[in-house]
Amino acid sequence: MGLLSTTQILSYLARALVMLIVIPVHEAAHAFVSAKLGDTTAKDAGRLTLNPLAHFDPIGALCMIVAGFGWAKPVGVNPARFKNPKAGMALSAAAGPVSNLLLAFVATIVYKLVLFFYPALPGGIFSDLLYLFTLYMVLMNVSLAVFNLIPLPPLDGSRMLLVFLPRRLYFKVMQYERYIFFAMAALLLLGVFDRPLALVNNWVLNLLLKLTGFVDLLLRAASGVSV
């Protein structure tokens, strides 16, 4: 008997395939919005692309495959280039999580379709991989969006704090970004964020299920089931 079951291998493969999509979209969204608002730092660094190699951090990518969440190389930003630094920082930071939530919405629709037609699929590894791929497209997009909204550096939520904090105080706090990051990493390893993140993730997932309720109605109508 091998160390990993077929289901576990397919799960890791599905996560790896999903990672090839969610991370590039997240990071390219940052670069795109930043460029539109006047800061081409990320674009000039080659980050306005869906090429995964331009964005991957090896350890962050491995964590995403194994644990379902991770991180990419930070996208450079120069607030001085924005016409409105506060709005520019917040909007460019929000672009990543928003892109993942939009992907999660579309993926939820696809997941429901795959789940509905799954019994009619020929079966085997391909069908199982398709199911897991659509499932993780929902779960990992939601997880990445929620995780990045934590208001601690270097996550996107910390950049959005500039809207609420005086600029001078914000940049003073950011001087300690490295130390805050290590403290946050320690708290993550200790599981301090596990329950809060799980609660928010579940809330977002339930919201997506409700927002895509029209898919259920259409599928029931198509199958002749009364609604």
Q: Which positions are annotated as active-site residues?
A: 27
Tell me the C-alpha distance between 220 and 214, whole Å.
Answer: 10
Q: Please give the DSSP secondary-structure letter assigned to residue 2.
A: -
Burial of residue 40 (CB within 10 Å: 0-12, 13-18, 19+) is middle
Please answer whether residues 18 and 133 qualify as being in contact, where contact means their C-beta atoms are separated by less than 8 angstroms: yes
Tell me the C-alpha distance between 29 and 1, whole Å.
Answer: 44
The DSSP line for 168-223 is HHHHHHHTTHHHHHHHHHHHHHTTTTHHHHHHHHHHHHHHHHHHTHHHHHHHHHHH
Its sign, for the CA torsion 33, 37, 41, 46, is positive
As a whole number of Å, the CA-based R_g of the chain is: 19
CA nearest neighbour of 24 among 1, 54, 2, 45: 54
Tell me the C-alpha distance between 150 and 129, whole Å.
Answer: 31
